[in-house]
Amino acid sequence: MSAAGTSFIAAVTLHWTGGLASGSFYIPYKGVRKWSWETYWLLGGIFSWLVAPTVFAWLLVPNVWHIVFSAKPSVFWLTYLFGVLWGFGGLTFGLTMRYLGVGLGMAVALSYCAAVGTLVPPIFLDHQGGQLISTGWGLMTLVGVAICLLGIAVAGLAGVAKETELSAEVKKASVAEFSFFKGIVIATFSGIMSACFNFALDRGQPITDAAKQAHFLATHHHSDLWAGLPTLIVILWGGLTTNFVWCVFLHLKNRSAHEYLASTAREDENRLVTAVDGPGYTQPAPAERHNGDRVPLTRNYILCAMAGTLWYLQFFFYQMGQSKMPEKLAFSGWTLHMASIIIFATIWGIILHEWRGTSRVTHALITLGIMILVFSTIVVGLGSYLQAKAKPKPAPTKAAMVIPRQPGVGHVAADIHHAAYVIALTAR
């Protein structure tokens, strides 16, 4: 196998490992008991957006703080700003489920996120649009992106089919406020804002490049696999800002800030969490809380730390995968990331019996969606192969003879040394 093929397989493996982390991170949250959404979301977020990025970068990248704070102000603040905008995408993601249902809402939002996040950086930010439509590898990669979007759409159809097969009571409870217009508008906003994470990675590339310099990584015998970690720190500071402000607002609104230390629940905390109160993701089943109920503080802290760290690992592996992608195809890494998230999230849904009771047609649709997403990865890989094959080979040139000169000798002595060196080479 060629070096390009081996590198792409490594990239896909790392991207899919990140997708597995993303598709799995919410499972620990399901074990949290007697806490409001804003409490466990912010605590988990502290690990996702502050603790884990700092610890991993500090351990793996020498002089990480010098790299971060040596960035040009325009690079630093633009990277941070896109991180803030990405935070809005995550917060509004759950609202698409409220108005469109899980299947349709996720399909629309992730389609926007995959398409915008994949295509905008190379076309509008890096001005590579001409190469994408004028080369075989570029067109093949675009076909792979289109196939990925098709796979997301088919997975969305499976979700819609699942919802139509629910009982009237369950359907009313799950999509009681169905509104196609509101849902489409919010899904569009959420998808575009979520894609800002990839924009932030693109704008933060100078920080990543600084980490690749010899005196930071190579001379310390560290791998370029870790070069993107300082950039993640800046992006996730932006995401932390958005989520922190919203969670503090909810703490004030719901009088729930005491939950971090309270060992017993209060009666007024026995409330259902709505999509506005918990707009990030589907909520775990709310546990009834009565005055004096014991709160499993230690367990809740451990589960939030696990969930938050697992969430961070998706982009930890994403950055590693990007380091293995061919430079001109790096934009397609976002597509691979989105596809792998859907694949592993769906697999978890099957393991947790979320598709139990649905028809064979629905099972066939979700299976077809996963197969299409896997196939899109293969097509993007073919684009990588074509791009590597299309690289112009350097024209053969006559070997230039480099003659070492003796330091500190005069011109005549240097010329004598030069002639002796040539004769020695000829004699060989």
pLDDT digits (tens, 9 = 90+) for 65-77: 999 999 999 999 9
Residues 387 and 408 in one domain: no
Q: Does one domain contain both 305 and 415?
A: no
Taking CB atoms within 8 Å and a gap of at least 24, the contacts of 148-151 are 148/114, 148/335, 148/338, 148/339, 148/372, 148/373, 148/376, 148/377, 148/380, 149/111, 149/114, 149/115, 150/372, 150/376, 151/339, 151/342, 151/369, 151/370, 151/371, 151/372, 151/373, 151/375, 151/376
In terms of domains, do 407 and 337 share one?
no
Q: Which amino acid is at 112?
A: Y
Residues 309 and 426 both lie in one domain: no
What does the pLDDT average to over 269-291?
51
- Whether residues 125 and 150 share a domain: the answer is yes
Record the tokens describing residue 71, joined without a space. Answer: 């960035």
Asked if 79 and 105 sit in the same domain, the reply is yes
pLDDT attached to residue 4: 54
In this structure, the answer to whether residues 307 and 403 fall within a common structural domain is no
- Are 378 and 406 part of one and the same domain? no
Residue with the larger pLDDT of the pair 295 and 52: 52
Q: Please, what is the angle between helix 360-389 and helix 333-351, to 10°?
A: 150
What's the pLDDT tens digit per position in 184-219?
788 889 888 988 888 898 889 899 988 887 445 555
Tell whether 427 and 365 lie within a shared domain.
no
Question: Residue range 56-61: average pLDDT?
Answer: 90
- pLDDT of 76 reads 96
Give me the number of domains the chain comprises. 2
Which domain, by its residues, includes 35? Answer: 3-393
**155/117 same-domain check:** yes
pTM of the entire predicted model: 0.72
Q: What is the pLDDT of residues 98-130, one digit of tens each?
A: 676 655 666 677 777 777 777 776 666 555 556
What pLDDT is stored for residue 422 in this prediction? Answer: 38
Do 413 and 285 fall into the same domain? no
Q: State whether 204 and 131 are in the same domain.
A: yes
